[in-house]
Structure 1
Amino acid sequence: MKPGLKYAFPVLGALLLMLSLTSILQSNQQVDERKVRMAMRQIGHDYLLGLGDDRSTVPAVEKSGELSFILPLAREIDYDSIMTITQGVLTKFELRQPYSLALLDCGDGQEFLGAFFDFTTGTRINNDLDEAACRSREQDARCANLSLQLHPDDPGPGTGFYLGLLVGLSFLLIGPVLDWSKPRQELTLDADAPRRLPLGTEAALLPDVQRLEWGGQQHELTYRECKLLTYLAENPNAVLAREKIHDAVWGDEGVMVGRSLDVFISRLRKKIADIEAVSIETVHGVGYRFRVG
Structure 2
Amino acid sequence: MDRKLVLLIMAGGMLLLLVGFVSRQNSKTDFDEAREMIVMRQIAHSILQQTGDSSSPVSPVKRISENKFQLTFPVSFSFSPDSLVKSIDRIISKHDLPSNYIVQVSEAQNNKVVFGYAILGTEQQNIVPCRGRRQPALPYTIFISFRDKPFSPGTWLILGGVCLLIAAAVITLRSKRNRQTTTETETANNAINPSLQIGNYLFYPSVQRLVFAGEEIILTSKESKLLSIFAAEPNEIIDRNRLQKEVWEDEGVIVGRSLDVFVSKLRKRLEQDSAVKINSIHGKGYKLEIG
TM-score band by shorter chain is 0.3 to 0.5
Task: Please give the TM-score of this superposition, normalised by the length of structure 2.
Answer: 0.44
Task: Please give the TM-score of this superposition, normalised by the length of structure 1.
Answer: 0.43
Q: Whose helix proportion is higher, 1 or 2? A: 2
